[in-house]
Amino acid sequence: MKNYETPQEEFWAGNFGNEYIIRNESQELLASNLRFFSEALKQASSIESCLELGANIGMNLRALKLLYPRIDLRGVEINPSAANLLTKFIGPEKVFQGSILDYQVAEQSDLLLIKTVLIHINPEMLHSVYEKMYQASSRYILICEYYNTTPVTISYRGHNDRLFKRDFAGEILDIYSNLKMIDYGFAYHRIPPFMNDDISWFLLEKIS
């Protein structure tokens, strides 16, 4: 396996990332994602392209394809097994198999999507990821993560230093003055048909 810059990258590129695939491939999750994105993107105008950072096998992108049948999809995924499955859905030329930290933005998409990925990024690397998110979006950024008013680290399935909660959207808004939050919400796991955890989402738009 490649030597990664942070232990968090190694974690997701290896066996734990492989196990994640098995836990998160289901028609129920696809239906839940469809409901989720229908709500989270209701204030967005036409979306013709999307790049997802941390796309895994493409369950989020599959839901977006149902909402926007003509959408051009691309993804960045660190886990080789997940990336291989993702290529079967959107094509190998649309997938960057590697760390978000190694990804070089070559073109912009209407929508930059990141969902329960920032929480697993080493906090020291967040500003680098924020910059990639900003540069990769031509209009919208959709952030879907666990929220906390102040940075906090919690145990993740028995592993330490693998899940970090904070105000990701607020930090990005503080950095880029031409970003505006146009919608936000909360997906509560007790309300059917959501299979997602308790996720806060924020839809940001670039204002020229």
Got the DSSP string for 14-71? SHHHHHHHHHT--HHHHHHHHHHHHHHTTT-----EEEEET-TTSHHHHHHHHHSTT-
Please provide the distance, in angstroms rounded to a whole number, between the alpha carbons at the two ends of the chain: 42
Q: Provide the 3-class DSSP secondary structure of residue 150.
A: coil
Rounded to whole angstroms, the Cα distance separating 132 from 182 reads: 21
What's the whole-number mean pLDDT along residues 163-191? 95
pLDDT at 18: 87
| Residue 115 per-residue DSSP state | E
Rounded to whole angstroms, the Cα distance separating 199 from 116 reads: 8
Question: Per-residue pLDDT for 138 more than 80?
Answer: yes
Residue 76 confidence class, pLDDT cut points 50, 70, 90? very high
User: Is the entire prediction scored with pTM above 0.75?
Assistant: yes
What's the whole-number mean pLDDT along residues 30-43? 94
How does pLDDT run across 13-27, given as a tens digit for each residue?
988 888 888 777 788
Beta-carbon contacts of 143 under 8 Å, excluding residues fewer than 6 positions away, are 114, 118, 168, 169, 172, 201, 202, 204
Rounded to whole angstroms, the Cα distance separating 163 from 190 reads: 22
Q: Which of 78, 45, 50, 79 is nearest to 62 (CA)?
A: 50
Return the CATH class of domain 7-206.
alpha beta
Q: Provide the 3-class DSSP secondary structure of residue 197.
A: coil
Q: Is 55 left (phi over 0), alpha (psi -120 to 50) or beta?
A: alpha
Which tops the pLDDT comparison, 165 or 16? Answer: 165
Beta-carbon contacts of 207 under 8 Å, excluding residues fewer than 6 positions away, are 178, 179, 180
Rounded to whole angstroms, the Cα distance separating 133 from 157 reads: 27
User: What's the number of CA atoms in the CB half-sphere (13 Å) around residue 203?
Assistant: 19
pLDDT at 27: 87
Instruction: Work out the number of other CB atoms within 10 angstroms of the CB of residue 70.
Output: 9
How does pLDDT run across 81-130, given as a tens digit for each residue?
999 999 999 999 999 999 999 999 999 999 999 999 999 999 999 999 99
pLDDT at 85: 96
Residue 175 confidence class, pLDDT cut points 50, 70, 90? very high
